[in-house]
Amino acid sequence: MSSYKYKNVLLVDDNHIDNAINEKVISSTFFAEKVYIQQSCEDAIKFLKQLSANPEQLPQVIFVDIKMPVKTGFDFLVEFQQLPFYHKNEVKIVMLSSSLDPTDHKKIDEFNNVSDFYGKPLTADTLKGI
């Protein structure tokens, strides 16, 4: 039986294809035992609130797409910080984007809870660095 690096991770991305690719890479590399997928920031925040009753189910890593309709990945970061989890600072947040916009990189620096920024989709090599 293979051991996983993390028990649970969450993908927050509105793109079905990126989610399918990222889930496959995460599963095939044994990066996480369970991959949760939410397709909007609103759904992700609701989902995390529901899981807060069972802390062992909370993700240890959250991958968030920057560019999404209605609310962006940056909006997610603001709302995530307001969640009532006592251990949310232990969660690694990784921002993902297909954009090379330098203003995204600068804006990410404003959030101390973001551990990394990578292009989409995820790769096995990318996951090794997380």
53 is a domain residue: yes
Tell me how many domains the chain contains: 1
Q: Is the pTM of this model over 0.85?
A: yes
114 is a domain residue: yes
1 is a domain residue: no
Using one digit for the tens of pLDDT, what is the confidence trace for 47-104?
999 988 888 899 999 999 999 999 999 999 999 999 987 778 889 999 999 877 788 8
Amino acid at 89: N
Using one digit for the tens of pLDDT, what is the confidence trace for 12-54?
999 999 999 999 999 999 999 999 999 999 999 999 999 888 8
CATH number, residue 68? 3.40.50.2300
What are the strands of the beta sheet with 61-65, ordered from one edge? 32-38, 6-12, 61-65, 92-97, 114-119
Smallest CA-to-CA distance from 123 within 8, 6, 4, 29 is with 29
**What is the span of the domain harbouring residue 110?**
6-128
